[in-house]
């Protein structure tokens, strides 16, 4: 029987108490017989030596099951999350599973520079789902340092890991970026069959499995950026039934705002000053064909002798708004 000792601290959790509660235990199936299990076998022989039937036992042959180091990482998200350029706190989630047969912790590393990216998200933190709800809860879920280890996981146990990142302000509409989470067995990695003598759970050796004792997965974000086009036109009606700009003519200005791209814009205001040598015509302000009051009140518009202001707030891509008002030439 292998009597090698386990190095002190080899299986101590690296996170605060309570982190282990986020590990979801499942019946040991993928990992096989648990590392450290002693397989004991004793043979027997029965015979008659002339004095009666007798049974004798052989010596015991004991074998300690070694630890296989394996891990899987899969993305929990489908497709790309749409985010505005310059956005912070973008979350991508992953499941890290101890696919080996022994207790093991895994180093967690994240990168935002992934081959094929149009832009590289900047990773700000990695966190482990403490309350097991599958969603990142700032101030609740345990933030771990980049390159730090997970808690020790039992065979076939899994944790949800979040990568939180920021999107560069240069990300253009429709561009894509990815973040990658890598989990590496703290005991070590290598080609399948690599042996770490005496470092397995229960005192046996640790053997690198088919995954090379490391795995990774990516999660993606798609940049979205809204654009705004503003077009102004005017129609003139003169006192003589024509369309000439003469004293007494009425000029109706029309502003057309169109939000393009994807995503949204915030705090949108349409402003226009009343031109010199003209007078604003009280009560002429409209938004999308509906009359607005000139006063500061519950509707979106304000108008005075100085100019107009239409507060449209947040507008998503595809929004189109039309504003009209009328002035009279002095």
Instruction: Please write the tens of the pLDDT for every residue from 275-297.
Output: 999 999 999 999 999 999 999 99
Largest Cα span, the chain: 142
Instruction: Please write the tens of the pLDDT for every residue from 10-22.
Output: 433 333 334 444 4
3-state helix, strand, coil split of the chain in percent (to 5) is 0, 50, 50
Instruction: Please write the tens of the pLDDT for every residue from 89-121.
Output: 999 999 999 999 999 999 999 999 999 999 999
pLDDT at residue 26, rounded to an integer: 40
Which domains, and CATH codes, for the chain? 67-224 (2.60.40.10), 226-329 (2.60.40.740)
Look up tokens 């770490």; give the residue. 196
In 3D space, the residue among 197, 29, 10, 40 whose CA is nearest the CA of residue 101 turns out to be 29
pTM for this model (two decimals): 0.68
pLDDT at residue 80, rounded to an integer: 85
Burial of 58 (0-12, 13-18, 19+ CB in 10 A): exposed
Per-residue pLDDT of the chain (330 residues; tens, 9 = 90+): 343 333 333 433 333 334 444 444 344 455 689 999 999 999 999 999 899 999 999 999 998 899 999 999 999 998 888 887 788 899 999 999 999 999 999 999 999 999 999 999 999 999 999 999 999 999 999 999 988 999 999 999 999 999 999 999 888 888 899 999 999 999 999 999 999 999 999 889 999 999 999 999 999 988 877 789 999 999 999 999 999 999 999 999 999 999 987 778 889 999 999 999 999 999 999 999 999 999 999 999 999 999 999 999 999 889 999 999 999 999
Look up tokens 């309350």; give the residue. 131
Q: Which two tokens stand for residue 113?
A: 């520079």
β-bridge mates for residue 153, sequence order: 104
Whether the CB-CB separation of 109 and 184 falls below 8 Å is answered with: yes
pLDDT at residue 22, rounded to an integer: 46
3-state DSSP call for residue 23?
coil
The Cα 295–Cα 285 span in angstroms is 11
Residues 6+ apart with CB under 8 A from 208: 68, 69, 185, 188, 189, 190, 191, 192, 193, 194, 195, 196
pLDDT at residue 175, rounded to an integer: 87
- Rounded to 5°, angle at Cα 35 from 146 and 62: 155
Q: Burial code of 173-211, b = ≥16 C-beta within 10 A, e = fewer?
A: bebebbbbbbbbbbbebeeeeeebebbbbbbbbbbbbeb
> In this structure, what DSSP letter does residue 22 have?
G
Computed over its alpha carbons, how large is the radius of gyration of the chain? 35
Sheet holding 80-84, edge to edge: 80-84, 214-224, 176-185, 106-111
| Cα–Cα separations (whole angstroms), residue 14 to 103, 105, 136, 149, 330 | 13, 8, 20, 6, 79
Whether the CB-CB separation of 238 and 244 falls below 8 Å is answered with: yes
Residues 6+ apart with CB under 8 A from 98: 31, 70, 71, 104, 106, 153, 154, 155, 156, 157, 158
Q: Which two tokens stand for residue 138?
A: 């700032």
| Cα–Cα separations (whole angstroms), residue 98 to 24, 218, 272 | 11, 18, 63
pLDDT at residue 227, rounded to an integer: 82
């Amino acid at each position: 029987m292998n009597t090698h000792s386990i190095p002190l601290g080899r299986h101590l959790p690296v996170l605060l108490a309570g982190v282990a509660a986020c590990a979801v235990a499942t019946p040991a199936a993928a990992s096989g017989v648990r590392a450290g299990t002693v397989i004991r076998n004793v043979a027997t022989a029965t015979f008659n030596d002339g004095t009666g039937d007798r049974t004798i036992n052989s010596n015991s042959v004991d074998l300690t099951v070694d630890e296989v180091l394996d891990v899987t990482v899969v993305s929990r998200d489908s497709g790309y999350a749409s985010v505005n350029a310059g956005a912070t706190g973008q979350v991508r989630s992953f499941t890290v599973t101890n696919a080996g047969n022994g207790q093991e912790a895994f180093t967690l590393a994240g990168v935002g520079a992934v081959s094929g990216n149009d832009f590289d998200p900047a990773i700000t933190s990695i966190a482990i789902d403490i309350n097991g709800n599958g969603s990142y809860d700032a101030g609740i879920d345990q933030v771990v340092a980049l390159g730090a280890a997970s808690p020790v996981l039992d065979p076939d146990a899994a944790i949800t890991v979040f990568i939180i990142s920021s999107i560069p302000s240069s990300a253009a509409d429709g561009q894509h970026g990815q973040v990658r989470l890598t989990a590496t067995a703290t005991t070590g990695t290598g080609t399948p069959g690599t042996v770490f003598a005496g470092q397995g759970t229960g005192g046996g050796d640790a053997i690198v499995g088919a995954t090379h004792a490391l795995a990774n997965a990516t999660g993606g974000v798609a940049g979205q950026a809204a654009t705004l086009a503003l077009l102004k036109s005017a129609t003139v009606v003169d006192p003589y039934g024509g369309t000439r700009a003469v004293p007494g003519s009425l000029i109706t200005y029309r502003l057309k705002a169109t939000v393009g791209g994807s995503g949204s814009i915030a705090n949108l205001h349409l402003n226009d000053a009343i031109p010199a040598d003209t007078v604003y015509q009280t009560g002429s302000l409209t938004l999308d064909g509906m009359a607005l009051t000139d006063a500061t009140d519950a509707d979106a518009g304000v108008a005075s002798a100085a100019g107009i202001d239409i507060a449209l707030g947040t507008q998503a891509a595809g929004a189109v708004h039309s504003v009209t008002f009328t002035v009279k030439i002095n």
